[in-house]
Amino acid sequence: MKILYLSCHSVLERDDLVLFQELGYEVFSPGAYVEPANPGDPTMRPPIPGLKYDPDIVEQYHRIGNRHPGEDGKDHLTKEFVDNFDVVYVMHLPRWIRKNWEVMKHKRVIWRTIGQSVASTEAEMKPYRNKGMEIVRYSPQEAYIPGFAGQDGLIRFYKDPKVHQGWNGKKKRVITFAQSMQQRGSACNYQFFEETTRPFPRALFGPENNQPGFGMGKVSFERLVKEMQDNRVYFYTGTHPASYTLNFIESWMTGIPLVCIGPLKGNANQWRDHNLYEIHNLIKSGETGFVSDNIGELRSQIRLLMTDDKLAKKISQAGRKEAQAQATEHVLAKIEPCIDKKCS
């Protein structure tokens, strides 16, 4: 089984390529990992040992790029190139479906959502589904998007439990990972994060997060893993319009106790009629994490986890167990049927 994997997100790209590799599929990704041993941004995610591509396929793709200098080669695929593969697996971007449909419609085309679909995206994808394109969703909550285009399978984000593990909580600090959180404002609930965490030792990691006193900026993947292991509490504020994000799965899988905003804040944006936020359905508040829309309650939950070692350990263990069920067992059970045959 040969897969052409079109990616628009380097972190998710690496996760999926590692999964495909472990499952024995032959895959080519002309994205951040077009050179698996030398990824586009090695600080965000490291190389993938052992992943190799067919050199003839790589050369064909580079010829496409040479014909379109300064443009994304994934916008200009040819039938000759697509015929190297059995499945075309497209991560989110509708334009790759739209621009390449005529040269790939004779293959199995799978559109894989990643939490960025809204009503206009669904409307754009619906005609292609009617023509045979399959849709693999990342969250059941996407069924609430107005004009939902349907689905043929559901596969959550995958995280390797051998990598994301080992929480110890020795630093009595609340942390969050996000990108450009202050600049993106309400899309990441930045002001709510700042006010809720103000009474506590805190750290905000991620590109362009350089606030005096707690903004730690961009860190390496190795540092990300260690900070999630060492810190006491992870405060999750969501990213609109996503139902959940990769940093949620990574932190939950690691075992750092989660305190999360609820559906009122999670859905309070220009897509409020979509009801996409899902964390309150994934976490059993008080058992596998905590969920609330009230700043006072959220602060109390953070304070409890900071001071009660027994409770923190209990939440850590229960949360990690549920994260493994959502992000490994369920994924592995579903990925092969969705690639090898019609999703069900």
Do 184 and 318 belong together in one domain?
A: yes
Cα(136)–Cα(195) distance, integer angstroms: 37
**Residue 76 placed within a domain:** yes
Let me know if residue 163 belongs to a domain: no
Pair (132, 48) in one structural domain: yes
3-state DSSP: the chain helix, strand, coil percent, rounded to 5? 45, 15, 40
pLDDT of 328 above 90:
no
Spell out the alpha helix ranges (H) of the chain: 10-23, 55-67, 79-82, 94-104, 119-130, 181-184, 190-197, 221-230, 246-254, 263-266, 279-282, 295-307, 309-324, 330-340
- Residue 265 shares a structural domain with residue 196: yes
Residue 163 is given by DSSP the state T
Residue 133 counted as domain residue: yes
- Type of residue at 107: K
pLDDT higher than 90, residue 89: yes
Question: What is the rounded distance in angstroms from the CA atom of residue 161 to the CA atom of residue 254?
Answer: 8
Reported confidence tier of residue 336, pLDDT bands at 50, 70, 90: confident
Residue 10 DSSP code:
H
213 and 147, same domain (yes or no): no
Say what angle helices 309-324 and 246-254 make with each other, to 10 degrees.
120
- The per-residue pLDDT of the chain, averaged, comes to 93
175 and 105 assigned to the same domain = no
- 41 falls in which pLDDT band (50, 70, 90)? confident
What is the C-alpha to C-alpha distance for residues 224 and 31, in angstroms, rounded to an integer?
Answer: 22
Same domain, 209 and 151: no
Domain count, the chain: 2
Residue ranges making up the domain that contains 238: 171-326
125, 211: one domain: no
pLDDT of residue 343: 62
Torsion sign (Cα): 137, 181, 265, 224: positive
- Residue 344 predicted with pLDDT over 70: no
Does residue 165 form part of some domain?
no
Average pLDDT estimate for 18-41: 90
Condensed to tens digits (0 to 9), the pLDDT of residues 95-128 reads 999 999 999 999 999 999 999 999 999 999 999 9
The CATH number of the domain holding residue 266 is 3.40.50.2000
Instruction: With a cut of 60, say whether residue 338 has pLDDT above it.
Output: yes
Q: Let me know whether 211 and 302 are in one domain.
A: yes
Residue 342 pLDDT exceeds 70: no
Indicate if 49 and 193 belong to the same structural domain. no
User: Over the stretch 247-299, which tens digit does the pLDDT of each residue have?
Assistant: 999 999 999 999 999 999 999 777 778 999 999 999 999 999 999 999 999 99
Residue 164 within any structural domain of the chain: no
Shared domain check, 332 and 289:
no
- For residue 59, what is the domain's CATH number? 3.40.50.11930
| % of residues, the chain, pLDDT over 90 | 85
127 part of a folded domain: yes
- Note whether residue 78 is domain-resident: yes
pTM of the entire predicted model: 0.92
199-231 tens-digit pLDDT: 999 999 999 999 999 999 999 999 999 999 999
Residues 139 and 96 in one domain: yes
Q: Which range is least confidently modeled, 17-26, 239-248, 299-308?
A: 17-26
The answer to whether position 166 is within a domain reads: no
pLDDT one-digit tens code per residue, 125-176? 999 999 999 999 999 999 999 999 999 999 999 999 999 999 999 999 999 9
One domain for residues 6 and 121: yes
The C-alpha atoms of residue 270 and residue 222 are separated, in whole angstroms, by 35
Q: Which of left, alpha, beta for 24 (phi over 0: left; psi -120 to 50: alpha)?
A: left
The whole-number pLDDT of residue 241 equals 94
